[in-house]
């Protein structure tokens, strides 16, 4: 079951009032969306977008079953980097939310290949209709490029060892086409770790490697940068933006963008630091532990 993160903190900041126009830039399961719709109280309009056509269709149906029709809600199959195109339809936005996390439905579906815990095709694409899968990406990548990707996208401390093992497997003709096969290569490569720490360190490395591959095949840094650059022009005066990130690379991009536009006077106020989920939320939802919320208000 997917559980939305930092709902209370997000709503407190966005200060949504009936009659406003807003955007959930990463619809996902729609948990944040429902809470924002409640604040609009059937007045105004909420636009939503998501790059994943599989989960988008399910969430659209779920929201319709809750009584949210086209009079109050518009859903678009788009990447949030295309926010400028959406605003041609919506007009200036009073509030925007972007939750950069992968949803539980995506992670827990073995057919999507997002998790090393279950066997499935090594895909990792948010939109499986576009781009190349992680399996295809690994077939052509060099050792140096792979090592750099693992460091940049997930701060993987064993990047050199893992990259060497993956490329060696490729050179032997191994078809790394499933999540289980990649997990096994990583596990074998890390047999050098002392036995008392090996199991825990291997698990963490698997998590980081899958994250790094997901970021790469979906061009997540590039589309986030594009979204952040376009964002100010889409906001109404005093418009509010909240962004929930889940790893250091994303958070750095958001922080630097907010700080630059603040210095330039585009944003009149930004979060002085990241807002973290409460200890209570982290204790009841382990996926909240890495979350960081930053916000900005347009001048």
Q: What is the 3-state secondary structure (H, E, C) of the chain?
A: CCCCCCHHHHHHHHCCCCCCEEEECCCCCCHHHHHHHHHHCCCCEEEEEECCHHHHHHHHHHHHHCCCCCCCEEEEECCHHHHHHHHHHHCCEEEEEEECCCCHHHHCCHHHCCCCCCCCECCCCCCCCCCCCHHHHHHHCCHHHHHHHHHHHHCCCCHHHHHHHHHHHHHCCCCCCEHHHHHHHHHHHHHHCCHHHHHHHHHHHHHHHHHHHHHHHCCHHHHHHHHHHHHHHHEEEEEEEEEEECCHHHHHHHHHHHHHHHHCCCEEEECCCCECCCHHHHHHCHHHCCCEEEEEEEC
- CA 69-76-12 angle, 5° bins: 70
| pLDDT per residue as tens digits for the range 123-159 | 989 888 888 999 999 998 999 999 999 999 999 999 9
Domain annotation covers residue 50: yes
User: What's the average pLDDT block by block, 10 residues per block, for the chain (299 residues)?
Assistant: 83 96 91 94 95 88 92 94 96 96 69 78 89 92 95 93 95 91 94 89 92 93 96 97 92 96 97 91 83 96
What is the predicted pLDDT for the residue at 281?
85
Domain annotation covers residue 112: no
Task: From 171, 186, 217, give the residue that closes a domain.
Answer: 217
Structure-token match 């022009």, residue found:
233
What is the predicted pLDDT for the residue at 92?
97
Task: From 167, 198, 217, give the residue that closes a domain.
Answer: 217
Q: Look up the domain containing 135 and give its range.
A: 128-217
- Please tell me whether residues 209 and 226 are part of one structural domain: no
Domain annotation covers residue 122: no
Domain annotation covers residue 117: no
What is the predicted pLDDT for the residue at 299?
95
What is the predicted pLDDT for the residue at 287?
79
Give the closest residue to 294 by CA, choosing from 89, 10, 102, 70: 10
User: pTM surpassing 0.75?
Assistant: yes
- Please tell me whether residues 13 and 154 are part of one structural domain: no
What is the predicted pLDDT for the residue at 93?
98
What is the predicted pLDDT for the residue at 108?
67
- Please tell me whether residues 91 and 231 are part of one structural domain: yes
Domain annotation covers residue 184: yes
Query: How far apart are the C-alpha atoms of 210 and 104, rounded to whole Å?
Result: 15
Task: From 201, 217, 233, give the residue that closes a domain.
Answer: 217
Domain annotation covers residue 113: no
Count of domains for the chain: 2
- Please tell me whether residues 17 and 97 are part of one structural domain: yes
Cβ neighbours for 245, distance < 8 A, ≥ 6 positions apart = 100, 101, 251, 254, 291, 292, 294
Domain annotation covers residue 120: no
b/e for 45-59, b at 16 or more Cβ within 10 A? bbbbbbbbebbbeeb
- Please tell me whether residues 80 and 46 are part of one structural domain: yes
Domain annotation covers residue 97: yes
What is the predicted pLDDT for the residue at 283?
87
What is the predicted pLDDT for the residue at 105?
63
| pLDDT per residue as tens digits for the range 65-98 | 999 999 999 999 999 999 999 999 999 999 999 9
């Amino acid at each position: 079951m997917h559980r939305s993160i930092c709902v209370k903190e997000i709503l407190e900041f966005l200060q949504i009032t009936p009659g406003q126009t807003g955007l959930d830039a990463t619809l996902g399961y729609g948990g944040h969306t429902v809470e924002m719709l409640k604040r609009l109280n059937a007045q105004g309009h909420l636009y939503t977008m998501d790059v994943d056509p599989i989960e988008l269709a399910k969430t659209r149906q779920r929201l319709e079953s809750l009584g949210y029709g086209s009079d109050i809600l518009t859903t678009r199959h788009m990447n949030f980097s295309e926010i400028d195109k959406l605003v041609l339809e919506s007009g200036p936005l009073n509030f925007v939310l972007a939750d950069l996390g992968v949803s539980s439905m995506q992670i827990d579906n073995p057919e999507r290949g997002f998790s090393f815990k279950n066997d499935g095709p090594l895909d990792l694409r948010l939109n499986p209709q576009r781009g190349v899968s992680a399996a295809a990406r690994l077939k052509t990548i060099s050792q140096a490029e792979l090592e750099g990707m693992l460091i940049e996208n997930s701060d993987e401390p064993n990047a050199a060892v893992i990259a060497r093992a993956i490329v060696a497997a490729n050179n032997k003709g191994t078809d790394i086409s499933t999540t289980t096969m990649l997990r096994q290569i990583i596990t074998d490569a890390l047999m050098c770790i002392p036995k008392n720490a090996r199991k825990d360190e291997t698990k963490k490395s698997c998590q980081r490697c899958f994250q790094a591959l997901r970021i790469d095949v979906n061009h997540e840094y590039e589309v986030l940068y594009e979204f952040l650059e376009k964002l100010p022009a889409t906001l109404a005066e005093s418009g509010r933006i909240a962004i929930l990130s889940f790893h250091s690379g994303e958070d750095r991009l958001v922080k630097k963008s907010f700080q630059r536009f603040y210095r330039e006077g585009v944003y009149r106020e930004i979060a002085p630091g990241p807002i973290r989920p409460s200890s209570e939320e982290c204790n009841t939802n382990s996926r909240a532990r890495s979350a960081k919320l930053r916000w900005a208000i347009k001048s």
